[in-house]
């Protein structure tokens, strides 16, 4: 994908919870997946192994802090982590809280749904989440 | 999941390419996904953030080395990385080479297939892969 066509090289419409020179952390705001966050590399690179090792570590530290915060805020059954990028080959990590009664559990969110929505969960408080991310990552 | 019922607390039937005290790297040997490897934590823990930071880093280094080796050996269109664990909540990383003409591309491998198999690809040479993993991780 040419860099100028890459949607993740722009931040249009994103709700950014935390950012620095290397990456930004956004709230996905998908009602189907409350708490879903993404850690997005700011510059354009396709694979983790395209990055210097220091940048990989810094990016993963952000993923761990998001995972920890989502576990604290939401007590999910499981956290799912994925860096896929087949559609948009620009490094980004999905951090997805999952619950045993969610529409797809235990399948990945990309599989067909197994059941209708049962428990409706709210988004975590984004201001509080942003404060925690800043506390551990700034 | 009780530890004694956890299938990843055993190594039965696994083709181990590299192992140390912390983790093992296995060839999944799924003809649908040539080159698919897993990095599996040896001890039982559900989430990356259940591990000390040093162990997370050591595990991710293994993921990066597997990713690099698979890129070198197979020149995939993209590498997919995922730590899900909804079915088996024991830390393990999927490292999956993907090609633009594979059955599911650009969707994740867990989505419904989009097309029949076109190009049939062979597994990378496991002995050569094991040598590379050992060179970088031992």
| Token pair for B110 | 């867990």
Q: Which residues of B touch A (CB under 8 A)?
A: 46-49, 53, 56-57, 60, 63-64, 67-68, 71, 77-87, 89, 98, 105-108, 110-112
| Token pair for B25 | 């790297």
Nearest to B98 by CA among A23, A6, A46: A46
pLDDT tens digit sequence for A27-48: 999 999 999 999 999 999 999 9
Substitution target in A86, A87, A101 with the highest count of B β-carbons within 10 Å is: A86
Beta strands per DSSP E along chain B: 15-19, 23-27, 37-41, 78-83, 92-98
Tell me how close the Cα of B58 comes to any Cα of chain A, in angstroms.
Answer: 11
Report the chain A residue with the minimal C-alpha distance to residue B47.
Answer: A79
> Checking DSSP bridges between strand A23-27 and strand A37-41, what pairing results, if any?
antiparallel
Strand partners, B18: B25
Report the chain A residue with the minimal C-alpha distance to residue B78.
Answer: A86
Chain B positions in Cβ-Cβ contact with residue A56 (cut-off 8 Å): 60, 64
Residues B117 and B103: beta-carbon distance below 8 Å: yes
- Please give the C-alpha separations between residue B136 and each of B34, B47, B62, B125, in angstroms, as whole numbers: 22, 25, 9, 17
pLDDT tens digit sequence for B96-127: 999 999 999 999 999 999 999 878 899 999 99
Percent of chain A residues topping a pLDDT of 90: 93
| Token pair for B77 | 């269109």
Q: What is the pLDDT of residue B117?
A: 83
Chain B positions in Cβ-Cβ contact with residue A78 (cut-off 8 Å): 46-47, 84-86, 89
pLDDT tens digit sequence for B17-53: 999 999 999 999 999 999 999 999 999 999 999 999 9
Chain B positions in Cβ-Cβ contact with residue A53 (cut-off 8 Å): 64
Report the chain B residue with the minimal C-alpha distance to residue A101.
Answer: B86
Chain B positions in Cβ-Cβ contact with residue A106 (cut-off 8 Å): 86-87
Strands of the sheet containing A15-19, edge to edge, are A15-19, A23-27, A37-41, A92-98, A78-83, B78-83, B92-98, B37-41, B23-27, B15-19
- DSSP secondary structure code for residue B81 in this structure: E
Report the chain A residue with the minimal C-alpha distance to residue B99.
Answer: A86
Residue B58 buriedness (CB in 10 A; 0-12 / 13-18 / 19+): middle
pLDDT < 70 positions in chain A: 1-3
Q: In Å, how far from its chain's centre is CA A10?
A: 16
């Amino acid at each position: 994908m040419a860099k100028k066509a890459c949607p993740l090289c722009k931040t249009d419409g994103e709700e950014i919870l935390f950012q620095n020179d290397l990456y930004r952390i956004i709230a996905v705001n998908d009602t189907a997946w409350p708490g879903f966050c993404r850690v997005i590399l700011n510059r354009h690179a396709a694979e983790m192994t395209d990055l210097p090792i220091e940048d990989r570590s810094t990016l993963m530290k952000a993923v761990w802090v998001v995972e920890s915060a989502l576990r604290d805020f939401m007590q999910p059954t499981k956290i799912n982590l994925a860096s896929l990028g087949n559609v948009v080959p620009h490094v980004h990590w999905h951090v997805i809280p999952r619950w045993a009664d969610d529409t797809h559990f235990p399948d990945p969110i990309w599989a067909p749904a197994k059941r209708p929505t049962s428990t409706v969960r709210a988004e975590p408080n984004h201001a509080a989440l942003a404060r925690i991310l800043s506390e551990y990552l700034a």
